[in-house]
């Protein structure tokens, strides 16, 4: 590995599509992927993606400008298509010249069209083949496909099964996510036909991430069996570190869960300056076409508030810690520059160590 060139590069359909140096993506993570992490990832040659669901539209604009002031490299913004103000967020992305838009959960055809008309590269995240096929038909430029071992909202099918399934199903570049942290993983994903890898947990655990040290320490101490998938936070399967809080959420009855959800909805409203009218409108948008009950809509406010408790306030007892299984394999906090250089050098060494075909 030591004889690897100082700046190893691997050109793929992802690097060509987006204009980044390396086929690596730092994904949008609520409260975690802010201007500091995103600009550090972008300066390291990866595609950094700002998480916007936990920001107001004004905060998003300010964050985009802050990243642009810190890097000349392309970067992206992650948004929720079901937010009542999604169109305003798209306007910010277009007006500020952001290169890439990624979507948390289901995107909408209309927003994809609007972004593409403005020349923004659209890269939704999906967790199932049929979703990849749908967004490809709607004109998405690439997809990030997340296997079940990934952190945050996640599906059931593991990356090793889902990735080749999606690669075979769509003609657009596929970026592999869920369980990646090193150069071997990058080469494995490329061998499956992916155009690169996207990493959440690995970028959260860098010295450039603003997550409080006490919280990072919990991730570093985790083994591969210390994450769990729970629906107790917001009704959707969510992979996070097992903690006393998660156990308590799972044990608590429906009434307690709803009471907590109402409290969090009120706190989220204060935090984001969002009016109750807007929250109700967002709730209706979320419910639209889905089988969501009002209690599920209220539960949705749990995610940002419980994530903030740990990721911003540093309270592992009051906040949840979304995490991929790969947390169990990570035991250091490199800078983004160190991480990216290391992953690319490992990929280079791995490629050269493969048995030669003849």
Ligand X SMILES: Cc1cc2nc3c(=O)[nH]c(=O)nc-3n(C[C@H](O)[C@H](O)[C@H](O)COP(=O)(O)O)c2cc1C
What is the binding site for ligand X (CB under 6 A)? 27-30, 32, 51, 53, 78, 104, 125, 146, 149-152, 177-180, 199-202, 204, 322-324, 326
Cβ proximity to ligand X: between 260 and 308 the closer is: 308
Judged by CB, which is closer to ligand X: 62, or 224? 224
Nearer to ligand X by C-beta: 204 or 345? 204
Q: How far is the CB of 3 from ligand X (least distance, A)?
A: 29
- Taken in order 313, 318, 324, 328, the sign of the CA dihedral is positive
CB of 315 to ligand X, least distance (A): 15
- What is the closest distance, in whole angstroms, from the C-beta atom of residue 326 to ligand X in the complex? 5
For ligand X, which is the closer residue by CB, 165 or 210? 210
> H or E element: which one contains 244?
helix 244-251
Q: How far is the CB of 324 from ligand X (least distance, A)?
A: 3
- Kindly tell me which of 23 and 151 has the beta carbon lying closer to ligand X: 151
| Cα–Cα dist 216/333, whole Å | 9
Where in 113-173 does DSSP place strands (E)? 121-122, 125-126, 143-146, 152-153
Which of 10/215 has CB closer to ligand X?
215
Q: Please tell me whether residue 306 adopts helix, strand or coil conformation.
A: helix
Least Å distance, CB 113 to ligand X, is 20
- Six token digits for residue 237: 């399967």
Which single residue brings its beta carbon nearest to ligand X? 200
CB-side exposure of 182: number of CA atoms within 13 Å? 11
User: Cβ neighbours of residue 329 under 8 Å, at least 6 residues apart?
Assistant: 181, 224
69 versus 161: smaller Cβ distance to ligand X: 161
Question: Smallest distance, Å, CB 237 to ligand X?
Answer: 12
- Give Cβ neighbours of residue 11 (< 8 Å, ≥ 6 apart): none
- Which pair of tokens denotes residue 159? 């990356």
Q: What is the DSSP string of 329-345?
A: G------HHHHHHHHHH
Distance CA 139, CA 118 (A): 13
Minimum gap (Å) between residue 29 Cβ and ligand X: 3
Residue 289 three-state SS: coil
Compute CA 160 distance to the chain's CA centroid, rounded to the nearest angstrom: 19
């Amino acid at each position: 590995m030591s004889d690897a060139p100082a700046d190893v590069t691997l050109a793929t359909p992802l690097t060509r599509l987006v204009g980044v140096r390396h086929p690596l993506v730092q994904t949008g993570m609520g409260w975690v992927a802010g201007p500091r992490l995103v600009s550090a990832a972008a300066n390291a040659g990866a595609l950094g993606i700002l998480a916007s669901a936990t920001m107001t539209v004004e905060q998003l604009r300010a964050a985009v400008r802050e990243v642009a002031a810190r890097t000349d490299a392309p970067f992206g913004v992650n948004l929720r298509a079901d937010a009542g103000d999604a169109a305003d967020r798209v306007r910010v992305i277009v007006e500020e010249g952001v290169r890439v838009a990624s979507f948390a959960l289901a995107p909408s055809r209309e927003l994809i069209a609007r972004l593409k008309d403005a020349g923004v590269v659209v890269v939704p995240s999906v967790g199932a083949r049929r979703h990849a096929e749908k967004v490809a038909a709607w004109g998405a430029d690439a997809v990030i496909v997340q296997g079940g071992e990934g952190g945050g909202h996640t599906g059931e099918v593991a990356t090793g099964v889902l990735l080749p399934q999606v690669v075979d199903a769509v003609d657009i570049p596929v970026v592999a996510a869920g369980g990646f942290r090193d150069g071997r993983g990058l080469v494995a994903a490329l061998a499956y036909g992916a155009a690169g890898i996207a990493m959440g947990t690995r970028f959260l655990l860098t010295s450039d991430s603003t997550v409080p040290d006490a919280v990072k320490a919990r991730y570093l101490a985790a083994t591969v069996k210390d994450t769990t998938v729970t629906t107790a936070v917001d009704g959707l399967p969510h992979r996070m570190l097992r903690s006393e809080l998660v156990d308590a959420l799972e044990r608590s009855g429906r009434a307690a869960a709803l009471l907590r959800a109402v409290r969090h909805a009120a706190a989220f409203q204060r935090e984001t300056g969002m009016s109750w009218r807007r929250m109700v409108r967002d709730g209706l948008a979320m419910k639209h076409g889905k089988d969501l009950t009002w209690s599920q809509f209220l539960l949705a406010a749990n995610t940002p508030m419980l994530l903030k408790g740990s990721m911003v306030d540093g309270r592992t007892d009051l906040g949840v810690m979304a995490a991929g299984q790969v947390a169990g394999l990570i035991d250091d906090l490199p800078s983004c520059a160190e991480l990216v250089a290391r992953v690319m050098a490992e990929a280079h060494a791995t490629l050269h160590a493969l048995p030669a075909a003849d």
